[in-house]
Amino acid sequence: MNSWLTLGLAIVAEVIATSALKASNGFSNLVPSIVVIVGYGVAFFCLSMTLRQMPLGVAYAVWSGAGTALVALIGVVLYQQKLDLPAIAGIGLIVAGVLVLNLLSKSSAH
Mean pLDDT of 22-30: 95
The 3-state DSSP class for residue 72 equals helix
Q: Judge whether residue 25 has pLDDT over 70.
A: yes
CB contact at 8 A, 33 and 24: yes
pLDDT, tens digit, for every residue of 35-70? 999 999 999 999 999 999 999 988 998 999 999 999
pLDDT at 109 (0 to 100): 56
Average pLDDT, the chain: 92
Q: Which amino acid is at 34?
A: I
Q: Whole-angstrom Cα distance, residue 80 to residue 82?
A: 6
